[in-house]
Structure 1
Amino acid sequence: MTHSVLKCHYCGAEYTIDRNIYTCDKCGNILDVYHYDMEYSLTGLKGVWKYKNLIHPGINEGTIISKGEGNTNLYSNSRISEFSGIDKIFLKHEGENPTGSFKDRGMTVAVSEAMRLKFNKTLCASTGNTSAAAASYSSFAGIESYVIIPEKNISANKLFQAIAYGANIVDIEGDFDSAMDNVRKTIAKRNDFYVLNSLNPWRIEGQKTIIYEIMEKIKPDFITFPAGNLGNTSAFGKALMDLKSLGVIDDVPRLVAIQAEGASPFYNYINGKQESIIPVKAETIASAIKIGNPVNYKKAKRSLEFTRGIVEKVSDDQIMEAKRAIDRAGIGCEPASAAAVAGVKKLRDAGIMHKGDTVASILTGHILKDVSIIPEHKTLRISDIF
């Protein structure tokens, strides 16, 4: 029978999942959820919870807080193939989740865990998508949510979602990293908040399911995605480790984390062979990945090592060029999402990816998540169409 614990990958310490703990008491590293005797068996539940036995096997189904997240579309489009130079490129659109981003996958598991532990307050730092998902799922569960937001560093669309869902908004000066630092200071002083950032290992369990769904449909050579706080980088490697160890897959696709040039500390860390990550002052048009000090960098490095992964960076101009291609293909995404496709084009031009490769690119957010950048367009008069 599957038995779940919180485990430190670095020193091996284990803790019961009934403790509200995110980092190791012994060495301070972020914990993983580890499932002993895990089996690849699917439930009769839908979406993310189809994989209950791989993400939270012990939770009572009556405790699960779900809004039907998961089971998002995998698009193939000739315009995207032409733009990227890859014939078999597929776009996994996480903007089709209930609040419009991939964060819903992690939030359904984390908020369900908050319910299991009987918390009545949640807390997160956010530049947008996390706040929207945290507020929505907390309200749906009847839990009060608190969101620490870096003033003037959040999309108005995302802030509106959090407000509409009833979150308590805490404005601070600074950026996402400042907001995250405030979360850490808050939980160090009091234990009545349940944290919903990717510091929480249960978030990672929910986000793993993106990979499960992709691998059920195609066998990619590469999986590309935007990288900010590196929760997805951590989750995707963990998912592939699961599938490999359980004998579900033989070949492991290479993970490709794409950062914005102005917010690329992980790129510098991996490609510069630094001993530790060096924080940067993040500046990019892609607000969802505008993070200069990602908390998950050690777990993300583990994912890259397991998959022979790549970290690349792209400029804001390259991001917007890719966004225009995705939007004009009728698919659409927020700016950060387009980094996943911009990275494919850059790697194809560099000869690292090839025309015949199979590539899955993950679009993390809906096109309406950030409409502050209005694309150039020509307005016609009615007489022009007669």
Structure 2
Amino acid sequence: MKAVCPLCGREYEGIIPPKCECGGRPRFTYDYSRVNPRAWKRRKPGVWRYKELLPPAKKIISLNEGGTPLFKAKLGEELSLNVHIKDETRNPTGSFRDRLASVAVSYGLTYAENGFIIASDGNGGASLAAYAARAEKEAFVVIPHKVDRGKLIQMIAFGARIIRYGDSVDDAIPYASELSRLNGLYDVTPANNAVGIEGQKTLAFELWEELNPTHVLVPTGSGTLLYSLYKGFKELQTLGLVEEVPELIAVQTEKCSPIAAVLEGGKSKREFTKALALYVREPPFLEEAVEAVRESGGKAVVVREEELDVGEKKLAREGVFGEYASAVVVPALMKLSEGGYFERDDRIVLLVTGSGLKSFQEERERSMISGTKLEILRILGEGEAYGYEIWERLEKPMKYQAVYQHIRELESLGLIEESRRKGRRIYYRLSPKGRRILENLEG
């Protein structure tokens, strides 16, 4: 195995830089003449089934990641299409990033004397925390201020050291790189080190063994998953196992769609989206993602925020609980189907990349907090207040009793709490949970 710059041909080994001196991104290559795919079938399913096409590791750190289920979707019958779901929520920490973490930690053990670090908006941080714990190494996770609570709880439970920095993962990436340099930490952030992407490409190998799809719908934020899949299918092509790469379809939300804008034209929005794992304003793998889609003959699809709930519910009826960032593939499929994009004999895969258990509670709370309730939280964000005082400050034509109903509901959600009493007056304040919700809502 070696990493080669596609622009100038320079070769790298050991710690691979994110960019070559000429500006190209080094890509891992292997001696494909020595790969025997027949040997894969004698091994148990999982990432390391394909070890000849993965970076070498003196010690493999594994939690039996990969080998996730692929099954036929009922939705396909409704659309008269052959649709399958690849359920990556079945990975050890509930997302496809476990593939990255296993390979990155295994390869990086040689260079991680002081531990590992990653910049992440959630799933990657949870994965690294678990695998570093397994390897008995410290994990440092740089996260933006907006992170799904379930993912943060995972990181803490696995013993990671949490560093909050910036509004989105875009801000966290260069900070993690600097901390890595200053503290001798092995950085496994995909934008700073492509080694983990080699683990993610095993998704392509599994899909080929299971179905050999013609189309794959891919939730897209940073662009790393698109590139991983493309690289995996290109290697299968090099081995003579597939004739062509399946059409890769990048799916983004209308609020954050920089990759889709390049591919399909239109305005590039970079706003906060409730599909939090797709909130990447400056995708580090934008060029590679665009290459993957164009070279595979695919396209990009943008879905509206309100379509995310529809996608989640339809996935739930399939028996899969995916986070919003995964649910985007369902409305995308429906749009393409309505437009006559697919043929009846196409073999279509929906990638469900992360579990809804990580984000469900907080996202639902956010969806419930709007209008008057949000204004009450804002008032209490400035300091404690009692009911009549809140009613006066709202300056809305509503009954005093209605305000108290909102207060009781906010209290039942655990977003506000009683701070003190003075006579008959009950003063309220934000709870820690309410303050966090308000900060996330206000962006």
Fold similarity call, TM over 0.5? yes
Equivalences for residues 277-288 of structure 1 within 5 A: 281-288=270-277
Rounded to whole Å, the distance in 2 between the matches of 1:271 and 1:46 is 37
Rounded Cα–Cα distance in structure 2 between residues aligned with 1:86 and 1:198 = 38
> Is the Cα contact below 8 Å between 1:92 and 1:363 reproduced in 2?
yes
Aligned mates of 2:269, 2:137 — CA distance in 1: 35
SS, match of residue 235 in structure 1: helix
Structure 1 residue ranges without an equivalent (≥5): 377-386
Alignment partner of 2:255: what SS? helix
Shift of 1:128: 0.7
**What is the rounded CA distance, in whole Å, between the counterparts of 2:80 and 2:228 in structure 1?**
25
Corresponding residue for residue 128 of structure 2: 134
Corresponding position: 1:373 with 2:363? yes
Q: Which residue of 2 aligns with 1:194?
A: 186
Q: 1:326 to 1:121 in 2, by over 3 A?
A: same
- The match for 2:93 is 99
Q: Which residue of 1 aligns with 2:300?
A: 311
Instruction: Give the equivalent residue in structure 1 for 2:65.
Output: 69
Is residue 24 of structure 2 the alignment partner of residue 5 of structure 1? no
Contact 2:255 2:272 in 1 (8 A): yes
Whole-angstrom distance in 1 between the partners of 2:207 and 2:250: 16
Offset of residue 251 of structure 1: 3.6
Matched to 2:246, the amino acid is P
Q: What does residue 288 of structure 2 align with?
A: 299
Aligned residue among 54, 57, 60 for 1:59: 57
CA shift for structure 1 position 8: 1.4
Q: Shift in Å at residue 86 of structure 1? A: 4.6
- TM-score in terms of structure 2 length: 0.77
Give, in angstroms, the shift of residue 59 of structure 1: 2.9
Give the drift of 1:15: 1.0
Following superposition, the deviation at residue 282 of structure 1 comes to 3.1
Moved more, 284-293 or 296-305: 296-305
> How big is each residue's C-alpha offset from its partner over 1:169-210, in whole Å with a ceiling of 9 and x where there is no partner?
0112311111113123334x4361111221221111101111
Equivalent pair of 1:86/1:357 in contact (CA under 8 Å): no
Q: What TM-score do you get using the length of structure 1 for normalisation?
A: 0.88
3-state SS of 2:328 partner:
helix
Residue equivalent to 1:210:
203
Work out whether 1:26 is the aligned partner of 2:21.
yes
Residues 357 and 289 of structure 1: is their aligned pair in 2 closer, same or farther, counting only changes over 3 Å? Answer: same
1:39-68 deviations in Å (ceiling 9; x for gaps):
243453541000001123x433xx110000
Matched residue, 1:382: none
The match for 1:113 is 107
Deviation at 1:243, TM superposition (A): 0.6
Counterpart code for 1:204:
I
Task: Work out the CA distance in 2 between the residues paired with 1:229 and 1:51.
Answer: 25
DSSP-derived class of the 1:336 partner: helix
Of 120, 129, 149, the residue aligned with 2:143 is 149
Higher mean displacement: 337-346 or 115-124: 115-124
- Contact conserved, 1:47 with 1:68, CA < 8 A, in 2? yes
Structure 2 matches for 1:112-261, cutoff 5 A?
112-151=106-145, 153-187=146-180, 189-190=181-182, 192-199=184-191, 200-261=193-254
Give the number of the structure whose alpha-carbon radius of gyration is greater.
2
Distance verdict in 2 for CA 1:301–1:162, change over 3 Å: same
% of aligned pairs identical? Answer: 30
Q: CA deviation at 1:159?
A: 0.3
- Deviation, 1:365, is 0.7
Report how far residue 370 of structure 1 moved.
Answer: 0.9
Does structure 1 conserve the Cα–Cα contact (< 8 Å) formed by 2:311 and 2:331? yes
1:340 Cα offset (Å): 1.7
Give the Cα separation in 1 of the matches to 2:223 and 2:260.
11
State the one-letter code of the partner of 1:26.
E
How far is 1:35 from its partner? 1.2
CA distance in structure 2 between the partners assigned to 1:181 and 1:280 by the alignment? 22
Q: What is the count of residue pairs matched by the alignment?
A: 360
Verify the 8 A CA contact 1:280 1:293 in the aligned structure 2: no
SS in 2 for 1:229: coil
Cα contact 1:30–1:296 (8 A) shared by 2: no
Is the partner of 1:69 in helix, strand or coil? coil
Could you say which structure has the greater relative contact order, defined with CA pairs below 8 angstroms and 6 or more residues apart?
A: 1
Aligned partners of 2:297 and 2:156: how far apart in 1?
41
Q: Does the residue aligned with 1:190 lie in a helix, a strand or coil?
A: helix
Q: CA deviation at 1:97?
A: 0.2
Amino acid in structure 2 at the alignment position of 1:198: P
Moved more, 21-30 or 172-181: 21-30
The alpha-carbon deviation at position 225 of structure 1 amounts to 1.2
Question: Given the superposition, is the C-alpha separation of residues 184 and 59 from structure 1 closer, same or farther in structure 2, using an over 3 Å criterion?
Answer: closer
Instruction: Name which of structure 1's ranges 113-122 and 221-230 shifts more when overlaid on structure 2.
Output: 113-122
| Aligned with residue 265 of structure 1, among 258, 261, 271 | 258
Counterpart for residue 36 of structure 1 = 31
Q: Which residue is 1:349 aligned to? A: 338
**Structure 2 Cα separation of the partners of residues 299 and 119 of structure 1:** 31
Name 1:359's counterpart in structure 2. Answer: 348
In the alignment, what sits opposite 1:384? Answer: none
